[in-house]
Amino acid sequence: MNTSTTQLSVYWDADEDAEDIRRYTAGGFHPIRLGDVVFPPLSSSDSSPAKQYHVLHKLGRGAFATVWLAEVLHAPTQHYVALKICAAEADAWHELDIYNRISASDEMQNVLRLRDSFSLHGPNGVHTVLVHDVLANVFDVVNPIRGRKHARMLCRQIACGLAALHRHGIVHGDLHSGNIGIALPTLDGHPPRSILNYFGNPECIVVLPTAAPTHPAALPPYLLPSISIFDYLASKDPVFADTPFCAVIMDLGNAIAVDEETRPSSTPAAVCAPELMFERVVRSVRPSPTRASDIWSFACTIYELVFGGRLFRFANPDDALLGAMATLCGEVPLGWQSYWESHEWLRTLDISPEAADAGWARRLEDRMTGGGETHTRAELEEIFALLRSMLKIEPERRASAEEVLQHPWFARPDDASG
């Protein structure tokens, strides 16, 4: 999948929270204005009117989509949705197929549901629109200010979602904290005016090219930063404050079904399984993700949610990351041996089960003596035992999602720490 860009130059650059204006070109993003009404193409064969979605604000953006808060027009009751408007070049039909495979399952409470989908024709091409429930980011719930008392509950819910996907033959392929959302069950009870007044006048960055664009209609009139609906609900909705949080696995754009052709992995380096990373570093190829690589990614995500930092800091696809993985696990896989022996720096690393045990013991002591830790030693030992069962360098030795779900750490009473 190529990322289309142009050489467009504008007078005012947007901040990092807004998408790159150069993505608004043939094959790229669809230009959206606040107040637009988005709906499927009209067809004379349709016997019922299609749903219409009134765009209210921007929720986020990714490499291949922008996401918008919209209200459903002409619905019996007030209802909000998130519109994921994919780039024209995005392989959205694959994502649709994945959603169709799980749409009839009652086990997917912790996996984002697809509520609607259609094609949108625009100046930059034909865009797939995926309609989902509105979610908050998991870091709205677990962060330095709010604390991490919900982390264990959320991790268990993620485990439920991942186990359900794996039971249905779906590998997520891109599981990390950025793809974990929090459900917002009380949102529909709030009128649009209340939400929009809370955030105030949008901080629009006007798109003014330094030279007349070849295709002016391809550009939006302005770019917008994203808003956090969680902030609004936490401030204005006492019922939401008393509602238990529910974690939802989202973004199945890189997922694969185990019975389909392999697809190259795009897992971020910080959560990428070693068998995938080794191929990226040594052979410059991207193997297909697997259930076992999901487990490694999930372990890294648990560590980040529980402890607030990444297991592999400043991770890049290089020898340093391979060395850190082998050191953490206490062994070098047989298939890595020849590469290892040919690199002097890798040969100097202290890699053994004893060294790995000592490293985990140091982590535990650092947690106990670092100040501010809310976990008991017994619980830390449980968490580390869970993580080590998932962080095996050989994929076939990792715990399955079902085994992770049955771990004693998840059986602790709800009022326990963590």
Q: Cβ(270)–Cβ(248) under 8 Å?
A: no
Q: Is 236 annotated as a binding residue?
A: no
C-alpha distances out from residue 398 to 292, 298, 307, 359, 361, Å = 7, 12, 22, 19, 20
Report the alpha-carbon distance of residue 409 to residue 395 in Å, rounded: 22
Task: Give kind and range of the element (H or E) at residue 3.
Answer: none
Helices (DSSP H) in 129-266: which residue ranges? Answer: 151-167, 192-199, 229-236, 238-241
Q: Show the 3-state SS of 378-398.
A: HHHHHHHHHHHHHCCCCHHHC
Report the alpha-carbon distance of residue 65 to residue 91 in Å, rounded: 11
C-alpha distances out from residue 149 to 304, 306, 375, Å = 13, 9, 10
135-137: strand order across its sheet:
135-137, 180-183, 247-249
Closest CA to 298 of 88, 156, 99: 156
379-409 burial, b for 16+ CB within 10 Å, e for fewer? bbebbbebbbbbbbbebeebbbbeebbebeb
Report the alpha-carbon distance of residue 15 to residue 61 in Å, rounded: 13
Q: What are phi and psi of 4, to 5 degrees?
A: -75, 135
Q: Which residues contact 138 (CB under 8 A, 6 or more apart)?
A: 154, 177, 180, 181, 182, 247, 305
Angle at 78 between CA 75 and CA 79, to 5 degrees: 80
Provide the Cα torsion 211, 213, 214, 219; round to 10°. Answer: 170
Per-position DSSP letters for 67-128, written without gaps between them: EEEEEEET-SS--EEEEEEE-TTS-HHHHHHHHHHHTT-SS-TTBPPP-EEEEEEETTEEEE
Residues that constitute the known binding site: 84
Residues that constitute the known binding site for ATP: 84
